[in-house]
Homo-oligomer: A and B are copies of this chain.
């Protein structure tokens, strides 16, 4: 049995397209799952080597189902990320004209990205939500709806044709996906990495969150995402999902995490992995005093002071 990657299915969704951009996906069996929790449970149970799921969207923000799964339960770790630009095609049965479209369907997450287009082009069409964009395409194939918003790549699979392509209300609409596995040693740093953690505050007091962020800031570590998620203990009780620039083997990141471990009630490490979005940053030039060299020579200096050898 080849090692398998579970992913948020069905086939023909943006998730599958994003997964196939990873070179390692070519050597794995790719198994579509019905939901994000199902994909991650397959990893936790050992059924799948890893799971590939959406985690952040430039229009909708954090994908809360994925974040909540990573925050709770058996620990998992992020190994890779993929950024995919999202544009929709309006898929119809061959021969359908725009003027004949009375009902449209897609996954609810698609709605904010096609709302303006719909208002301008099909103001009277009735929207019905589908379980996924691919499932919406299938329902159009079956004649249940007139048109579906989905990736253009889904047309052929469901015997549909794109009546309109490149539909996206927000410029640069992107979704970020992650490959998640069981905890193991993170891959070596690439020079352009990202570290994900979840933080639970010890007590709620003025400046509490600012103190947590200070552990990053005083070491020149930039944050790329801060998403609060309910702890389940009632309104106002939140933990914080944070993505920070850098790798846990970078001294500045390691020291920030040690500081957080001291002051937080709990810290969950979610992995250090290559960034999908940019070329390597020159940390030395950007933030003086935050490179590994400066951390090490500062540690040497303190040791020499402690020895009276400064």
Contact = CB atoms under 8 A, between A and B. Distances in A.
A287 B205 CA distance: 10
Nearest to A214: B210
Contact of A176 (B56, B62, B223, B235): B235
Chain A residues touching B, range: 35 or more
The winner among A60, A224, A227, A234 for most chain B CB atoms within 10 A is A234
A23 B225 CA distance: 41
A12 interface: no
A221 interface: yes
Interface string A208-225: 011001101110111111
B207 A61 contact: no
B225 A57 contact: no
Interface in A260-281: 277
B172 A233 contact: yes
B230 A228 contact: no
A237 interface: yes
Interface in A158-174: 170, 172, 174
